[in-house]
Amino acid sequence: MSTEHDVIDPAARPSGTGCAECLAGGQWWLHLRRCALCGHIGCCDTSPNRHATAHYHATGHPVIASFEPGEEWFYDYRTDGFVDGPRLAPPQAHPPEQPVPGPAGQVPDDWESRLNG
């Protein structure tokens, strides 16, 4: 199994303030997750597109961190559980004024019915 140093890079900066794939495709998300190795920002599994998990499957980067204000946790897809991790390069979360769900102007009125259970 990999060590923390193989799967978490504290110096990797976030790829942006929103889900990279959702922003590129004019889509929306509920919550954001940050790859702890490369900094890719993807949407959570409750979001319609599950881009953070897709990033794990495409790259093999197994540990994510929350990218939500006030949340400080890491999750390892390999063990399906929460793990400890170091402080990552700033910013630690999307801007507090960014709406949840987001991004502004992309979220449909019936967004709650479109979430994954």
- Comparing CA positions, the residue from 21, 27, 8 lying closest to residue 101 is 27
Looking only at the bridges linking them, the beta strands covering 41-43 and 32-35 are: antiparallel
Instruction: Compute the average pLDDT of residues 20-40.
Output: 98
Instruction: Compute the average pLDDT of residues 85-108.
Output: 97
What's the one-letter identity of residue 45? D
Residue 1 vs residue 109, higher pLDDT? 109
CB count within 10 Å of CB 75 equals 18
pLDDT in tens, 48-74: 999 999 999 999 999 999 999 999 999
